Structure 1
Amino acid sequence: MTCAEGKTGELRWSFRVRDYDLERTLTSGQAFRWERHGDGWEGVVAGRWVRLIQGPESIEAQAAEPARDWRWLGDYLQVQSDLGAILATFPNHPPMRAAVRACHGLRLLRQDPWECLASFILSSTKQIMQIQRIVRLLSERFGAPVAVPTGHHPEFAFPEAARLAACEEPALRSCGMGFRAPHLRQAALAVTRGELDLVALGREPVAVARERLLRLPGVGRKIADCALLFAYGFQEAF
């Protein structure tokens, strides 16, 4: 990946990739903000609207505002990760190799820790389409608006922890999350009060980081490991 460093920035950028299946990656249940529109995928990453199109050896990106440095998106997509090196660490037995063949080109995204943790708290006993709807409603009602192209429908960033911590439980339930509402609010309160430091969490050994997440109401081993893998890249949580 090469980053744009012009004076005014760029609205479009191209990431050169190999063995990268964008559709498999964005629809694999790692993240819940992506929607298919025509030949591309639209979502909100790091508070920015973005459209992605898969090319033969590239991912073409479009933003609504010029960006001088596109590392925010390259890091999210993990375009520089060495897929071959990662796969070489997998056990060499038939079931695993069959899974690798079936998911060829799928990459592990590197998401914002708060959005990732909150999304998986909302995922309990829900299907992907249901999670997407809850996350969309939550963002529309409590998230900050983001810049979009002229004529595009409004888009919103995922709500910050402090915003959700200030919400009453009925307001959260109105987004369709049901019994998960108090769990989400308790997590937001823990982050807002500094009881859970999501930045420091990424520097902890995986066992320590997992134990801290498991203290949160509604967070079991699966949710904790999803957050550790998709937000921090802890391969041990796979």
Structure 2
Amino acid sequence: MITVELEHFSLDKICDSGQCFRMKKLGDGHFSMVAGDQYLEMHQKNGIVDFYCSQEEFICYWVRYFDLDTDYEVYMNAANPRDKYLNAAIEAGDGIRILRQDLWEMIVTFLISQQNNIKRIRKCIETICRMYGERKFSTEGVEYYTFPAVEALSQVTEADLRACGLGYRAKYIAVTARTIASGEISLERIYDMSYHRAKKELLKLCGVGEKVAECICLFALHHMDAFPVDTHIRQVMDVHYKRGFPNRRYKGMRGIMQQYIFYYDLYS
């Protein structure tokens, strides 16, 4: 177990931030997380966080995953003091981190998220992991399933994916998996691309539109200028930023500002 004291870090808010769907509340500050082929349990009381993993796993995987080396106070202090709405959103969302998640997992996740609610998204992802992922056990004996590899989903029919509750999104995932497995689109190259080039490449994938591409850029590629606009964000823009969001002021940090706003609008 690794115990660390962390500022501006909240497992509870990260879990509810809409960027990860394999994190679960186990009760009283206790959480579990499956990311790729990794399983982790955590406990937080105030600023003290226990990560139930080895030091090597913590340093080599989870520090980067939770973006622990980034000082989020820099983002929080960058807000225009006259922008009462944004400052209230930052105060409410203090503790959210932009996670560094797997690109393939985020492509499938946000294809599933279209016209969907969080409960159903979680269920769909858990179903495809159980059906097509690898069954594993944590060091404590907890059973979990890895996220299905590109090759695994590329061999699954649209009908089989529909049986997992994906609805019309089954086609998007089936076609996208085959596109990537064939080498037509390279995930490795996307990792090395700038924000705008990566977004343009992602838009070539079946079912990936503007909002989904922005989510993937932010939550997988960590392009902090990505700014996903869904119904919640659009409504906030219409009420509080009628002249548009001040993009120039928040260049390089628009993504975290979006997350503060999204969380505040959803839970305030």
- Whether TM-score is above 0.5 comes out as yes
What residue number does 1:189 align with? Answer: 178
Structure 1 counterpart of 2:213, from 224, 231, 234? 224
Q: Which residue identity lines up with residue 108 of structure 2 in the other structure?
A: A
Q: Which residue is equivalent to 2:71?
A: 82
- 2:105 is aligned to 115
2:48 counterpart (53, 58, 83): 58
Whole-angstrom distance in 2 between the partners of 1:157 and 1:171: 19
CA apart distance, 1:75: 1.0
Q: How does 1:169-208 map to 2 (within 5 A)?
A: 169-208=158-197
Partner-residue secondary structure (3-state), 2:50: strand
Q: TM-score scaled by structure 2?
A: 0.78
Question: Which residue number in structure 1 is paired with residue 201 of structure 2?
Answer: 212
CA distance in 2, matches of 1:230, 1:22: 16
Matched, 1:43 2:33: yes
Q: Unaligned regions of 5+ residues in structure 2, if any?
A: 228-268
Of 133, 138, 146 in structure 2, the residue corresponding to residue 148 of structure 1 is 138
- 1:176 Cα offset (Å): 0.3
Do 2:103 and 2:187's aligned partners in 1 also have CA atoms closer than 8 Å? yes
Q: Deviations over 1:44-103 (max 9, x none)?
A: 12312211111333321124xx56342211111111211012234455523222211221
Percent same amino acid at aligned positions?
A: 26
Q: CA RMSD in A?
A: 1.8
**Structure 1 position 147, deviation (Å):** 1.7
Summarize the Cα distance change of 1:178–1:95 in structure 2 as closer, same or farther, 3 Å threshold: same
Once residues 194 and 105 of structure 1 are traced to their aligned partners in structure 2, the CA distance between those partners, rounded to angstroms, is: 38
List gaps (5 residues or longer) in structure 1. Answer: 1-11
SS of 1:204's equivalent in the other structure is coil
TM-score between the two structures when normalised by the length of structure 1: 0.87
Counterpart-to-counterpart distance in 2, 1:185 and 1:90: 42
**C-alpha distance in 2 between matches for 1:88 and 1:117:** 32
